[in-house]
Structure 1
Amino acid sequence: MSVWTELVGQRHAVEVLREAATDPGAMTHAWLLTGPPGSGRSNAARAFAAALQCTEGGCGRCQACTTTLAGTHADVMVVATEKVTISIDEVRELIGVAQRAPSQGRWRVIVLEDADRMVERTSNVLLKAIEEPPPRTVWLLCAPSPQDVVVTIRSRCRGVALRVPPVDDVAALLVERDGADREVARMAARAAQSHIGLARRLAR
């Protein structure tokens, strides 16, 4: 089971990210992953981070993959916030981390799950770090839509758009991954409007 397994209904996005993880010519240092709630932006960012650290492009079994997905890899930093905005001090701290060379992995990866929560002044602080990153640092920014991020940041990132996955794909994942009853899985997926995390909780 690879790191991409849970990204159901996202074939195009997975193809783009998988190619970048395995082909240096397709790789860039800053990414913007967008999609509506439930599309799996955060899951896609974590899967991509794992694939970047994995020598096989995201096997899902090695230490690099398992520690990244578990949130314990030394060179992968995931930032999520419950606050209305991300502060300048928080971004400056991230920039400091981003300047360090990876200690164990192939890349230093910074995942900013709520990039849309930066005001323009904070975005401008991040902009220089994205424009001139160290050679082994990758920024993965997540937001509901490209328009939720200031244009200067957006223009320096490669965009990957995710969509809400089909109900049948979410139900199939619940059956295969969690052993849910087929009919229960379909009802849960429909009730959750294809939001995988919510569908999983409902199925349980």
Structure 2
Amino acid sequence: MSVWDDIVGQENAVAAFNAAALAARETAGQREASTPGTASAPPDNAGSGGADRPAGLAMSHAWLVTGPPGSGRSNAARAFAAALQCTGPVPGCGQCKPCRDVMAGSHPDVVRLTTEKLIITMDEVKTLIGEAQRRPWTGRWRVILVEDADRMAERTTNVLLKSIEEPPPQTVWLLCTPSADDVLPTIRSRCRLVTLRIPPADAVAELLVRRDDADPELAARAARASQSHIGL
């Protein structure tokens, strides 16, 4: 079982995240080999696609994960965070301790901001920026995951911009919004965009059967009734 098992109907997004996690692991390994005893870091050209690999395979220091409600964008971002921290044979194995910790919300190097409020406050963003400046405790990366990043006011987003423009070498930002248009162009232009869609009803039904041992007919009805909304 991998961290991607519950990310259904998002083949393109999963492929992009997997390729990035593999590239990140390769570069981190090279960095560790060249500097024994130090934590690994992403390549200096991480956000540009890399000079020696196709741009589609490159790791980026900032990601914008978009998709309508029910697409599972926050779940996909969390799975990507797990793949980055994974120590198993394949990134996102789902079996190693880092994978399990990230998925359980207890990994010390994955900082997650979620809110039920209408607005993400300036103080909350400043706290995140402070967290982003810390070196990883146990993992290779310091991952900052912001759910509902569209709830940041423009002034708050401008404070975040500098941290995304000039992040510490081991920090990765994951911003989740319904649409790419929900964030300022200055933020959007500095992030790699991954777009999710509402998954097909049959894929959601299969997930309910596999994960929850639901009756297939009941699972199919539930998937249709929820309009394939992963969270319902």
* TM-score normalised according to structure 2 size: 0.84
- Distance (Å, rounded) in 2 between the aligned partners of 1:110 and 1:7: 20
- Distance (Å, rounded) in 2 between the aligned partners of 1:170 and 1:149: 29
Aligned equivalent of 1:36: 68
User: Displacement, 1:195?
Assistant: 1.0
| 1:88 is aligned to 2:118 | no
User: Displacement, 1:196?
Assistant: 1.8
**Percent identity (aligned):** 68
- Distance (Å, rounded) in 2 between the aligned partners of 1:78 and 1:187: 33
Residues 133-148 of structure 1: matches in 2 within 5 Å?
133-148=167-182
Gaps of 5+ in 2: 25-49, 51-57
- Distance (Å, rounded) in 2 between the aligned partners of 1:120 and 1:79: 18
| 1:50 is aligned to 2:82 | yes
- Distance (Å, rounded) in 2 between the aligned partners of 1:19 and 1:179: 31
Residues 92-131 of structure 1: matches in 2 within 5 Å?
92-131=126-165
User: Displacement, 1:54?
Assistant: 0.4
User: Displacement, 1:177?
Assistant: 1.2
Gaps of 5+ in 1: 199-204
User: Displacement, 1:88?
Assistant: 1.0
- Distance (Å, rounded) in 2 between the aligned partners of 1:150 and 1:114: 14
* TM-score normalised according to structure 1 size: 0.96
- Distance (Å, rounded) in 2 between the aligned partners of 1:119 and 1:79: 15
* SS in structure 1 of the partner of residue 18 of structure 2: helix
- Distance (Å, rounded) in 1 between the aligned partners of 2:231 and 2:194: 21
CA RMSD of aligned residues (A): 0.7
Residues 166-177 of structure 1: matches in 2 within 5 Å?
166-177=200-211
- Show CA shifts across 1:149-189 (max 9, x none): 11111110000000000000000011111110000000000
| 1:194 is aligned to 2:228 | yes
Q: Aligned partner of 1:123: which letter?
A: T
- Distance (Å, rounded) in 2 between the aligned partners of 1:123 and 1:81: 16
Q: Aligned partner of 2:83: which letter?
A: A
